[in-house]
Chains A and B, each alone.
Chain A
Amino acid sequence: MFPFLIRRFFQSLPTLLLASVLIFFVISLAPGDFLTPARLNPGISEQQLANLSATFGLDRPVYVQYFYWMWNLLHGDFGLSFQYTQPVLPVIWPRIVNSVYLVLLNLVFFYAIAIPIGVYGAVRQNSFGDKSINVVLYFLLGFPSFFLFLIVIYLILQVRNATGWDIPLGGMTSGNYDQLSVLGKFWDVLRHLLIPAAVLAITDAAGLTRVIRGLMLEVMRSDYIRTARAKGVSERTAIWKHTFRNAILPIVAGIGGLLPAAISGAGFVEVVYAYPGITPMLLTAITASDLYLIAGFTVISTVLLVIGNAISDILLAVVDPRIKVG
């Protein structure tokens, strides 16, 4: 396992490096330089500008600037956010953590919805249940997550008006968050996360459910399932032990790729839900041309993605003995 991890790490390095080059290149395409927006900001002094210019080598050619940037990056210095006139990392880190909460819960829902329904659809192929689920999923697939979310909010409003239940409609914590016990805090955040995570999961799960259903059907047709049945195993064993484990292999292989999609997808909901995640901050950063902040976010999420990919490779190696580990 360990050599595998090492190798995986070294394999992802070039991707990361190239991604950082791309990010930097794209950003340096922007008119002016990193400091152009800063120059318009009265909160940043000439002195500070000069310092920045020196630390990031802005008077040098672009490729040198890249190395400066990279060097600073490796030392945990993502540059200065011009909106906050503060180093980027402490500004964005809490947001990233918040987004990760949302995405993780979303993933839990995502699988919790998609797997049982997908399996059900495959096992009861063409049954009334399968067909009606298919219709619903089809319908859901067409929904942009933010639109579904708007509709859900509309419905929740109706419920709230009718019952007076305190269903959170935005943010991540309640007003009395700081007074809550640890468990209370946990529940409070969870309560806020539930609806956005679920809505997100539902729109995404529509696709995955169909994939799982298709994969299950395909595996169910395979010879080794016939072998298993010929052994006299029960239906449940045939489905969960023999079919499912094989059917999820391509999904496990795709978990890593799912992460960025999930992070991206969560973005829309974050915006609607006024959730203090990455995307709302990024959007303000765009309007403010807060380039270091944008670059920092992109780099970190890319790193997360590469890690996610590595994890999915490892998971795949765990569930599929054909993948050599080590």
Chain B
Amino acid sequence: MTDHATDKAEVLLAVNGLKTYFNTDDGVVKSVDGVTFHINKGETLGVVGESGSGKSVTSLSIMRLIPMPPGEIAGGEILFKGSKGQPQDIVKMSEAEMRKIRGNEISMIFQEPMTSLNPVYTVGDQIAEAVMLHQDKNRKDAMLVATDMLRFVGIPAPEKRVNEYPHQMSGGMRQRVMIAMALSCNPALLIADEPTTALDVTIQAQILDLMRKLQKDIGMSILFITHNLGVVAEMADRVVVMYGGRVVEEGDVIEIFKAPRHPYTMGLLNSIPRPGVDAHVPGTPRKRLEAIPGNVPNPLNLPPGCAFEPRCKFAIPDCAKAVPPLEDTGGGHMARCIRWQEFAKADQEVSA
């Protein structure tokens, strides 16, 4: 945490109006269309959203790993305050500079632990590679670091495991290896793109627990992408909700869960059963989930106004006219809905 714990926290990364487009045969896919958010030092920012809403593309844009072509960063800036102290715009960096940041100051772990490790190299090699790249160590020392990292992420018998190949490990194990690799150079920011989605609940619990512990130890910030609201609730300090390539809501995690100001967020929260709370009691009438009607929008053909308008039960004709602005509803809680004030009022009435 920062030295002015009471003051506004120090911003590590600020994404302003980021636009990442893909030029496909069928037209331009505006995967990320003016996304703005920031991450403070030491905090965990959860990003949730529909599949295809641009979560991964945002994170890859930050790493500048968008395949170009067909992708391009069409606008906006990504200000990163790395070890140099001064915020630098990642979008404008040279490839060489960028390589120094990747894996070193910002590192990333991915959704599929099964496919994210190179099958033909030992896990030790793969961790050591990052260490050698960024820490000026020879192979032997780097392998020692790798072993330490494996131990650090709780892999038993790391001395042995360091020489094993990915296929010799289970999914949870591999995700730990990924984390070890990502953390091997003490990054300031860890981007985790759905790191537990492919894992079993019990393993997910292990990994989440591990990440929390490591964050405490290292003090890095985490950009945590997921579509599991439970995971967000557990991991995040603040939350960004994305829909159709835009941020539709952003705010403190408790705020978001207690007082969502965007109908999509509301719908999302109501559409999932809560463990324990929603269990069916025989004899009682069954509860109903509040489903969000309709389908995920086609990224090629987003509605002109609010992207959620076609599925929104609160939609009014104005919603379709223009993209609503992202407005501050108070206390850094932002929402992109022209009717947020009404929701706020309704909320107050209910609680009143």
Q: Which residues of A line the B interface, CB within 8 A?
A: 126, 221-235, 237, 242, 245-246, 249, 319-322
CB-nearest residue of chain A to B184: A231
Contact A233 B129 (CB under 8 A): yes
Query: Contacts A231-B130, A232-B133, A246-B118; is A321 near B65 (CB within 8 Å)?
Result: no
Cα(A70)–Cα(B103), bound, Å: 63
Contact B167 A230 (CB under 8 A): no
Check if B104 is an interface residue, CB within 8 A of chain A: yes
Minimum C-beta distance from B161 to chain A (A): 14
Query: Contacts A126-B69, A245-B120; is A233 near B133 (CB within 8 Å)?
Result: yes
Minimum C-beta distance from A105 to chain B (A): 29
For the complex of A and B, list the 3 residue pairs with the smallest distance between their C-beta atoms, beginning with the closest: A232-B102, A231-B103, A232-B103
Query: Contacts A230-B63, A230-B107; is A322 near B167 (CB within 8 Å)?
Result: yes
Residues of B within 8 A of A222 (CB): 115
Q: Which residues of B line the A interface, CB within 8 A?
A: 60, 63, 65, 67, 69, 95, 98-104, 107-108, 110, 112, 115-120, 122, 126, 129-130, 133-134, 165, 167, 178, 181-182
Contact B133 A320 (CB under 8 A): no
Known: A230-B182, A234-B99. 7 other contacts (CB 8 A): A223-B112, A230-B107, A230-B108, A231-B107, A232-B100, A233-B129, A319-B120
Residues of B within 8 A of A321 (CB): 119-120, 122, 165, 167
Contact B130 A232 (CB under 8 A): yes
Residues of B within 8 A of A228 (CB): 118, 129
Query: Contacts A230-B107, A231-B181; is A224 near B130 (CB within 8 Å)?
Result: no
Pick 17 A–B contacts, CB within 8 A, sort by A.
A221-B67, A222-B115, A223-B110, A224-B115, A224-B118, A225-B118, A230-B65, A230-B103, A232-B130, A234-B99, A235-B95, A242-B118, A246-B120, A249-B120, A321-B119, A321-B122, A321-B165
Contact of A226 among B65, B101, B182 (CB under 8 A): B65
Cα(A249)–Cα(B118), bound, Å: 13
Q: Which of A225, A232, A245, A321 has the most CB of B within 10 A?
A: A232
Count of inter-chain pairs, beta carbons less than 8 A: 78
Q: Which of A230, A242, A245 has the most CB of B within 10 A?
A: A230
Contact B119 A320 (CB under 8 A): yes
Cα(A235)–Cα(B126), bound, Å: 16
Minimum C-beta distance from B266 to chain A (A): 34
Minimum C-beta distance from B69 to chain A (A): 7
Minimum C-beta distance from A79 to chain B (A): 47
Minimum C-beta distance from A145 to chain B (A): 34
Query: Contacts A227-B110, A231-B130; is A320 near B120 (CB within 8 Å)?
Result: yes
CB-nearest residue of chain B to A245: B120
Minimum C-beta distance from A116 to chain B (A): 21
Contact of B65 among A229, A235, A245, A320 (CB under 8 A): A229
Cα(A249)–Cα(B117), bound, Å: 16
Q: Which of B98, B110, B178 has the most CB of A within 10 A?
A: B110
Contact A322 B107 (CB under 8 A): no
Cα(A320)–Cα(B167), bound, Å: 11
Contact B117 A224 (CB under 8 A): yes
Residues of A within 8 A of B181 (CB): 227, 231
Contact B115 A232 (CB under 8 A): no
Residues of B within 8 A of A225 (CB): 118
Cα(A243)–Cα(B116), bound, Å: 13
Cα(A232)–Cα(B96), bound, Å: 9
Residues of B within 8 A of A226 (CB): 60, 65, 110, 116
CB-nearest residue of chain B to A319: B120
Residues of A within 8 A of B65 (CB): 226, 229-230
Minimum C-beta distance from A251 to chain B (A): 14
Contact B118 A232 (CB under 8 A): no
Contact B119 A227 (CB under 8 A): no
Minimum C-beta distance from B215 to chain A (A): 19
Contact B63 A322 (CB under 8 A): no
Residues of A within 8 A of B130 (CB): 231-232
CB-nearest residue of chain B to A234: B99
CB-nearest residue of chain A to B120: A245
Minimum C-beta distance from B117 to chain A (A): 6
Contact of A246 among B119, B133, B134, B165 (CB under 8 A): B119
Query: Contacts A223-B110, A321-B167; is A231 near B120 (CB within 8 Å)?
Result: no
Cα(A321)–Cα(B167), bound, Å: 9
Contact A227 B120 (CB under 8 A): no
Contact B116 A223 (CB under 8 A): yes
Residues of A within 8 A of B112 (CB): 223
Cα(A293)–Cα(B330), bound, Å: 93
Minimum C-beta distance from B63 to chain A (A): 6
Cα(A319)–Cα(B118), bound, Å: 12
Residues of A within 8 A of B103 (CB): 230-233
Cα(A319)–Cα(B121), bound, Å: 10
Residues of A within 8 A of B126 (CB): 227
Cα(A222)–Cα(B114), bound, Å: 11
Residues of A within 8 A of B69 (CB): 126
Minimum C-beta distance from B169 to chain A (A): 12
Residues of B within 8 A of A232 (CB): 98-104, 130, 133-134
Query: Contacts A232-B133, A233-B129; is A227 near B102 (CB within 8 Å)?
Result: no
Minimum C-beta distance from A245 to chain B (A): 5
CB-nearest residue of chain B to A127: B69
CB-nearest residue of chain A to B67: A221
Contact A322 B165 (CB under 8 A): yes
Cα(A132)–Cα(B163), bound, Å: 44
Q: Which of A227, A235, A242, A322 has the most CB of B within 10 A?
A: A227
Cα(A173)–Cα(B117), bound, Å: 52
Residues of A within 8 A of B182 (CB): 230
Minimum C-beta distance from B124 to chain A (A): 13
Residues of A within 8 A of B95 (CB): 235
Residues of A within 8 A of B115 (CB): 222-224
Residues of B within 8 A of A231 (CB): 102-103, 107, 129-130, 133, 181
